Amino acid sequence: MSQRRTLIAGNWKMNGQKADGLALAKGVAEKLAGAKPNCDLLVCPPTTLVGLVAEAVKGSGLHVGGQDCHAKVSGAHTGDSSAAALADLGCTYVIVGHSERRTDHAESDAVVKAKAEAAIAAGLVAIVCIGETLAQRDAGQTIEVNRSQLVGSLPAGATAANTVIAYEPVWAIGTGRVATPAQAQEVHAAIRAELVKALGAEAAGAMRILYGGSMKPDNAKELLALPDVDGGLIGGASLKVADFWAIAESC
């Protein structure tokens, strides 16, 4: 049996305002009060809702995370949020290097690494996202692209307790096109092999690697059963209590 506890993480992206965000988070927390799925559950609301959601679900066992943080602790960075400020609001995780941030904000591996290090310094678990585009997959570069992003983005001092890797093929995010189990397992195994080189067998064996990209209730079970898939980073399907819960119950 895997020593890794499955993590199901919802990335709400830029969706939700007070009323629907609270209803969603409370809905998941209520489910959690009635049944304990075989996984850790995390929701990552937009920064505007993080404090409200964290207060609302306090003590429920539902984790709350940010979707991004700045690499610096404080200073002249208009519009950004520090990892320490997210922790202060009740976050225990933060996503860094999501492909939408890499694309929309031109975030390089070096920036993602610095953000992950800031997250860890603030006591958060960093969820470090990597993944290839369709053009890169079609060009046969999938393993090399993910290897290079992983090596470039992995925070110094990464351990299984402070870092989670999320493999998210860009062509599968929000498209309804999901990686096949064979495609997902191939990349996850390659990521773990690279982690062995970087961190040693023990840390690599204990580190969680999530799959993200159109994971839904009807494909979650098959993906989550793969030997090197230790959970999911869920976008669209995390916006409905029933769908998110159905994925949690697939663990």
**Does residue 213 belong to the site contacting ligand PEP (CB under 6 A)?**
yes
222 with 181: CB under 8 angstroms? yes
The reply to whether 215 sits near ligand PEP by the rule CB under 6 A is yes
Nearer to ligand PEP, 157 or 174 (CB): 174
Q: How far is the CB of 172 from ligand PEP (least distance, A)?
A: 6
Q: Could you give the residue numbers annotated as active site?
A: 98, 168
Verify binding: residue 66, ligand PEP, rule CB under 6 A.
Answer: no
Q: Is 236 in the site for ligand PEP (CB under 6 A)?
A: yes
Tell me the binding residues for substrate.
Answer: 11-13, 174, 214, 235-236
Residue 212 exposure: Cα atoms within 13 Å on the Cβ side: 33
Is there binding between residue 214 and ligand PEP (CB under 6 A)? yes
Q: Does 173 bind ligand PEP (CB under 6 A)?
A: yes
- Least distance to ligand PEP, CB of residue 108, Å: 19
Is 219 near ligand PEP (CB under 6 A)?
no
Comparison of 16 and 213: residue with beta carbon closer to ligand PEP: 213
- Here the tokens at position 70 are 């700045």
174 touches ligand PEP (CB under 6 A): yes
Q: How far is the CB of 1 from ligand PEP (least distance, A)?
A: 26
Select from 112, 233, 248, 251 the one that contacts ligand PEP (CB under 6 A).
233
Stretch touching ligand PEP by CB under 6 A, among 14-22, 115-123, 199-207, 211-219: 211-219
Binding-site ranges for ligand PEP (CB under 6 A): 11, 13, 168, 173-174, 212-215, 233-237
